[in-house]
Amino acid sequence: MRTGSSSSSSWRWQLSRAMRLSLRWFRRCRLQRGGRGGATERRIGGRLLELWSYSRLLLTSLHFNSLTNADTLLDCAFEPVYWIVDNVTRWFGVVFVCLVTLLTTSVVVIVYLFVLPTILSTYPSYWVAWHLSCGHWLLTMVVFHYYKATTTSPGHPPKDKIHIPSVSICKKCITPKPPRTHHCSICNACVLKMDHHCPWLNNCVGHFNQRYFFSFCLYMTLGCFYCSVSSKALFLEAYGAIERYYQTPPPTDIYIETTAQKSIIFLWVLTSTVTVALGGLTLWHSILISRAETSVERHINHKETKRLQEKGKVFKNPYHHGTMNNWKLLLGVEERRHWVTRVLLPSSHLPNEDGIMWDFSFTRTDPMAI
Ligand SMILES: [Zn+2]
Ligand SMILES: [Zn+2]
């Protein structure tokens, strides 16, 4: 450590010496020229000197600042890259929301035009009733939760109140940060119980819209699974017909038929892909909810667990109230009937906590635990 610090200090000393010498040389040159040169030359020289001293001041303030470390320097160097990424994500958010709306609408249209008529004409009445009720229930839940997840604010710390429980100060907002609050560089604001910034919602997922986000993921996965299973027989039929269509010369009057077949293939491929991809994401978030962790806290807690493990201690999440209680807290289930009215049906109820004060009901049973 000593060797490292002495070499770094000698390196710093050499750099500052080189800078001082260059400045002295520059001043001498300027003085020599100043005797002969005109006013324009002096003006240009003055500006260059000003630029130089500004750069020197900038370097010195970064170099001799006790708070500066390699991370700060890297942050400064990558600031333009972050700016571009944040702005691109912000703009892509609008495109992604349009894409979700467009693809969902296309799936619903294809089901109404090609899948539902087949179900109505070929299935027995009890299956028809089941398909009609299940399909429409899933569609309602998807539309409701997507609308709420995109339009509900995730929650921000109050700017007018100073005396709120806080763990640190946000260096970008210059406001106190309550526990579980993190700064979102895309929204450029602190978000209560921040999970992540979702480009598909063009919104941050936080304390007040996490339930909508999770329910949307769950019902979208179920909806896509339902469409994929319901249209499987039609898809196999259409796939075989399309293969034959490309192998033999096509008749002229089957344009509408091929459109239907292509639409069903598109429907099945899209819904099956979304089922797998979104199903994985939903499963991951289910694990996080069971552990009472947000995506951000997952990384923090993982690091903390490792750090304490090295000291022979055990990390315990202070927000973990038991798997079932964590689910009840997220879904807002206080009574048994709420499983139906608040989980299986659209509901706009707010979370119990305000996102600022948290209930630390965790008790230390292990004397070595933290
Ligand atoms: Zn902030
Ligand atoms: Zn955000």
Average pLDDT over residues 308-328: 90
Distance separating alpha carbons of residues 317 and 320, to the nearest angstrom: 6
> Given the structure tokens 């009720």, which residue do they identify?
133
166-180, 252-266, 306-320, 352-366: segment of lowest average pLDDT: 352-366
Residues flanking ion ligand 2, Cβ below 5 Å = 184, 186-187, 197, 204
Q: Closest Cα to residue 349, out of 325, 334, 332?
A: 332
Q: Closest Cα to residue 190, out of 206, 202, 213, 209?
A: 206
**Total count of residues recorded for the chain:** 370
Distance separating alpha carbons of residues 224 and 104, to the nearest angstrom: 10
Distance separating alpha carbons of residues 202 and 93, to the nearest angstrom: 4
Provide the pLDDT for residue 85.
81
pLDDT digits (tens, 9 = 90+) for 322-363: 999 999 999 999 999 999 999 999 999 999 888 888 876 644
**Among the ranges 28-32, 142-146, 232-236, which has the highest mean pLDDT value?**
142-146
Whole-number percent of the chain with pLDDT over 90:
50
DSSP tag of 167: S
Distance separating alpha carbons of residues 254 and 242, to the nearest angstrom: 11
Are 203 and 209 within 8 A, CB to CB? Answer: yes
CA 155 / ligand 2 centre spacing (Å) = 11
Provide the pLDDT for residue 251.
60
Q: Which residue has the higher pLDDT, 208 or 47?
A: 208
pLDDT band at 369 (very low <50, low <70, confident <90, very high): very low
Half-sphere exposure of 92 (CA within 13 A, CB side): 11
Residues flanking ion ligand 1, Cβ below 5 Å = 170, 172-173, 183, 190
Distance separating alpha carbons of residues 174 and 172, to the nearest angstrom: 6
CA 328 / ligand 2 centre spacing (Å) = 26
pLDDT digits (tens, 9 = 90+) for 201-252: 999 999 999 999 999 999 999 999 999 999 998 898 888 877 776 666 666 5
Return the structure tokens found at 209: 């819209």
Provide the pLDDT for residue 252.
58
